[in-house]
Structure 1
């Protein structure tokens, strides 16, 4: 369907290819569920959801069905595309999307209880297309619009009912298993490939403008509704572009925060450092230590955590609100010298606080020892070890016997 191996993802539109909504479409039920006006802002909707979800949460004695209604209503109204579809077409406009635990097929029964207004009958949805769209961290920071060509099949002319299966998409096949024994099997119709309709197709090429929003994350979707291949008697499926974030040589990302691992020398750790870096928007930043500041090998915590400092508001933009940014964390690794010359050692003893005070002892009476490098993962594995079977055999043969008490 797609030319040139171009990767793809997801958008929004109107089921059935558009058209005017029915006159009796209900576009207020979700707002009533969240107890807000139709003109409510996203902030008001979120505030109402947080309040109602706390009140009706099943873990706090609330009604589980009511909680599901609140969650589904919030999921639709907090999404700009879904909210626009709902405001125009009601639940039909969002019933094709996965909403809440109930799914799109259950939206009407969820909000109208099955005894009220039922879901409007309509064609089932054709297959959608998902493809990855590889994006650099710079593009996710700054935003980007790319043009991608879509080649799809569209129906040419008017489809006609398949004569072989009479529009059922499947035919019954009778097979004889043996004398007096037959079986009936249903199989997909070969002529219409299970569609129940016969038609001819032609190829259509469309150029889509795919907008990568600032702050989007790995596996986020950019969706175009009804842009997949057309299928007879079905609503056309969607084209989904799935964001695939590329690894960056300098920055590591988690949510809206960024992390840099910076190696510095012992001299820089004690006497100060300064380094220049280029941010994701091509700004040049010079990061310096404060006068007299010491960079330590580890944080002063119970756990052995790396030494980390933070630069506020220099992380990634937030999706939907790019003016609010995360933070930039710098994790330091202090590189100690392998050896020092005696001259340098003497100078450091004079310059650095708390030099070593030599112990007084007679080397003829006291044993001098030196330490070797070690791996803490080997702690507890020293000495000679017996296998569990050897230890068991030793007990059976009577290594340590219980004390027997005798009375005279």
Structure 2
């Protein structure tokens, strides 16, 4: 184990530096229940709860714990470029970054300028992540190819003293060209210097750096560690500061990845809540639902409703605490909402004799008030809803060529097509 230079985070959790992952987890859960802001609505409890989360997130992560053991909180701050506790918290939970060789084709946005040096361009690129990654968290290593200052010439481009300002453009990289627009009217235009090709400097071919060929930068492949924290959301940004392309006399820009959540085959996310649709049979809808569900972390949960509680078509029921983890507070989770779709049986699924038995078990039919006087008796049938109506359709509805003994005319009627 690395030498421990700072034990404050261990003291917050009340464990020793040799504590196992299981000991850390037990200590965090116990203390989180005691000082949760819902139970202690005061500023002191909220601050303690925040530090408790910070300590657990650092010590439960092997890489962050190793950095803390060697360098303490100062090492965490310097590693993330932070200068206060709030910045550390952001770095540990939300300032992780992702890269890949695929970033070279990403979108670009111009970075701002500092008072001392120009700033390079930021590179912004979408990063696709699955719902499982956002639920469980993910750590991976990706490859980045970028420009770095040439170590052979230190970014000069050639031997010391061999680089001279271009005499044609006076080191500006462009020339002012006067062009006549119409007789008696001219305009000035900037044109790239053809001598130095816009670089503003001239280097003799024999004096150019052999390593970068006078370009001052070379390509370098770097492997960077990526942290997608639990509870991160669509559109959230992950930034590596100063990891953009390097150039002489210029501050490197940032690499910014924007999370894009992949569509899931079962769940749909809304904030910290999860939504899904479940198709159940008529028996389950009337007599009680019971089904197994594979969750995003691999757990199997058994979802049940009490016998006798009717599930209506399109109704939504909820399971508390089975939604997405909260960002920076993963032990707090949203809810799972299940919308039910009822699957009715096929036609003639039961014998005529048993229909009366079934009817005795179901709620009673409403009383039917028959029309007074003569009336027409029609039956329901399936119709092709893609065909138009009209005289032909109306004629077919009644044209069966027969009358019953009571003088009531029978024929084809209208069927409500099941959606």
Judged with a 3 Å threshold, the aligned counterparts in structure 2 of structure 1 residues 345 and 358 are, in CA distance, closer, same or farther, namely: farther
Normalised by the length of structure 2, the TM-score is 0.56
Q: What's the offset of the Cα at 1:259? A: 0.8
- Out of 295, 304, 327, the residue aligned to residue 319 of structure 1 is 327
Matched, 1:174 2:182: no
Please give the per-residue CA displacement for 1:75-95, whole angstroms capped at 9, x wherever unaligned. xxxxx99x964649x9xxxxx
1:137 aligns to what?
A: 131
Q: What's the offset of the Cα at 1:268? A: 0.9
Judged with a 3 Å threshold, the aligned counterparts in structure 2 of structure 1 residues 120 and 265 are, in CA distance, closer, same or farther, namely: closer
Q: For residues 147 and 265 of structure 1, what CA distance do their matches in structure 2 show?
A: 46
Q: For residues 191 and 281 of structure 1, what CA distance do their matches in structure 2 show?
A: 62
Matches within 5 A, 1:352-391: 352-357=362-367, 359=369, 365-370=374-379
Please give the per-residue CA displacement for 1:323-357, whole angstroms capped at 9, x wherever unaligned. 11111000001122342443343222111121354
- SS of equivalent to 1:141: helix
Matched, 1:230 2:224: no
Q: Is the 8 A contact 2:288 2:310 kept in 1?
A: yes
Higher relative contact order (CA 8 A, sep 6+): 1
Q: Is the 8 A contact 1:195 1:232 kept in 2?
A: no
Q: For residues 82 and 194 of structure 2, what CA distance do their matches in structure 1 show?
A: 38
Paired residue total: 270
Normalised by the length of structure 1, the TM-score is 0.57
Q: Is the 8 A contact 1:141 1:214 kept in 2?
A: yes
Q: Which runs of 5+ in 2 are unaligned?
A: 1-42, 51-76, 88-110, 157-162, 202-213, 391-419
Matched, 1:211 2:220: no
Q: For residues 352 and 190 of structure 1, what CA distance do their matches in structure 2 show?
A: 92
Q: For residues 118 and 382 of structure 2, what CA distance do their matches in structure 1 show?
A: 68
Judged with a 3 Å threshold, the aligned counterparts in structure 2 of structure 1 residues 171 and 41 are, in CA distance, closer, same or farther, namely: farther
Please give the per-residue CA displacement for 1:238-266, whole angstroms capped at 9, x wherever unaligned. 11222121111111111111011001111
Q: Is the 8 A contact 2:216 2:248 kept in 1?
A: no
Please give the per-residue CA displacement for 1:91-146, whole angstroms capped at 9, x wherever unaligned. xxxxxxxxxxxxx97xxxxxxxxxxxxx9722232111122222111111000111
Question: Mean alpha-carbon deviation: is it higher for 335-344 or for 205-214?
Answer: 335-344
Please give the per-residue CA displacement for 1:349-401, whole angstroms capped at 9, x wherever unaligned. 11112135454568x822223457899xxxxxx99xxxxxxxxxxxxxxxxxx
Matches within 5 A, 1:91-130: 121-130=115-124
- SS of equivalent to 1:353: coil
Matched, 1:269 2:285: yes
Question: Mean alpha-carbon deviation: is it higher for 342-351 or for 126-135?
Answer: 342-351
Q: For residues 309 and 85 of structure 1, what CA distance do their matches in structure 2 show?
A: 45
Judged with a 3 Å threshold, the aligned counterparts in structure 2 of structure 1 residues 231 and 257 are, in CA distance, closer, same or farther, namely: same
Q: For residues 342 and 197 of structure 2, what CA distance do their matches in structure 1 show?
A: 66
2:256 aligns to what?
A: 240
Q: For residues 356 and 194 of structure 2, what CA distance do their matches in structure 1 show?
A: 91
Please give the per-residue CA displacement for 1:174-213, whole angstroms capped at 9, x wherever unaligned. 2244655432102455677766578422111111001001
Question: Mean alpha-carbon deviation: is it higher for 130-139 or for 119-128?
Answer: 119-128
Q: Which runs of 5+ in 1 are unaligned?
A: 1-36, 45-79, 91-103, 106-118, 298-305, 376-381, 384-408
1:19 aligns to what?
A: none
How large is the RMSD of aligned CA atoms in angstroms? Answer: 3.9
Matches within 5 A, 1:32-47: 41=47
Q: Is the 8 A contact 1:173 1:186 kept in 2?
A: yes
Q: What's the offset of the Cα at 1:43? A: 8.8
Q: For residues 188 and 373 of structure 1, what CA distance do their matches in structure 2 show?
A: 77
Q: For residues 331 and 240 of structure 1, what CA distance do their matches in structure 2 show?
A: 37
Q: For residues 196 and 306 of structure 2, what CA distance do their matches in structure 1 show?
A: 75
1:280 aligns to what?
A: 296
Matches within 5 A, 1:77-92: 85=82, 87=84
- Out of 311, 315, 326, the residue aligned to residue 307 of structure 1 is 315
Judged with a 3 Å threshold, the aligned counterparts in structure 2 of structure 1 residues 245 and 121 are, in CA distance, closer, same or farther, namely: same
- Out of 144, 147, 150, the residue aligned to residue 141 of structure 2 is 147
Judged with a 3 Å threshold, the aligned counterparts in structure 2 of structure 1 residues 137 and 250 are, in CA distance, closer, same or farther, namely: same
Q: Is the 8 A contact 1:256 1:315 kept in 2?
A: yes
Q: For residues 131 and 237 of structure 1, what CA distance do their matches in structure 2 show?
A: 14
Please give the per-residue CA displacement for 1:285-313, whole angstroms capped at 9, x wherever unaligned. 0111112211012xxxxxxxx30011011
Q: Is the 8 A contact 1:155 1:199 kept in 2?
A: no
Q: Is the 8 A contact 2:146 2:245 kept in 1?
A: yes
- SS of equivalent to 1:158: coil
Q: For residues 125 and 348 of structure 1, what CA distance do their matches in structure 2 show?
A: 78
Q: For residues 305 and 289 of structure 2, what CA distance do their matches in structure 1 show?
A: 6
